[in-house]
Structure 1
Amino acid sequence: MERVAIATDGAQATGHFGHCEGFTIIDVEDGRIVDRRFIPNPGHKPGFLPMFLGDQGINTVVSGGMGAMAVNLFNERG
Structure 2
Amino acid sequence: MTKIAIPTKGSSVDGHFGHCEFFSIVELNDNQEIVRQYAKTSAEGCGCKSNLAEELAQDGVTLLLAGGIGQGAIQKLKAQNITVLTGFSGTIDEAVIQWKNKDYHTDLSICTEHHGNCEH
TM range (shorter): 0.7 to 0.9
Rounded to whole Å, the distance in 2 between the matches of 1:65 and 1:47 is 17
- Which residue does the alignment assign to 1:38? 39
Q: CA deviation at 1:42?
A: 2.6
- Which residue does the alignment assign to 2:75? 72
Q: CA deviation at 1:47?
A: 4.2
Rounded to whole Å, the distance in 2 between the matches of 1:47 and 1:67 is 13
Q: CA deviation at 1:27?
A: 0.3
SS of alignment partner, residue 38 of structure 1: strand
Rounded to whole Å, the distance in 2 between the matches of 1:65 and 1:49 is 16
Q: Is 1:28–2:35 an aligned residue pair? A: no
Q: CA deviation at 1:70?
A: 1.1
Q: Structure 1 unaligned runs (5+)?
A: none
In structure 2, what residue type is equivalent to 1:41?
A: S
Q: Structure 2 unaligned runs (5+)?
A: 82-120
In the alignment, is the contact (CA less than 8 A) between 1:47 and 1:73 conserved in 2? Answer: no
Q: Which one has the bigger strand percentage?
A: 1
TM-score w.r.t. the length of structure 1 is 0.88
Rounded to whole Å, the distance in 1 between the matches of 2:41 and 2:78 is 23
In the alignment, is the contact (CA less than 8 A) between 2:3 and 2:62 conserved in 1? Answer: yes
TM-score w.r.t. the length of structure 2 is 0.60
Q: CA deviation at 1:23?
A: 0.6
Aligned length: 78
Q: CA deviation at 1:43?
A: 2.0
- Which residue does the alignment assign to 1:4? 4
RMSD: 1.3
Q: Residue deviations 1:25-76, cap 9 Å, x none?
A: 1000122111011112132350422112112111111111111111111222
RCO higher in 1 or 2 (8 Å CA, sep ≥ 6)? 1
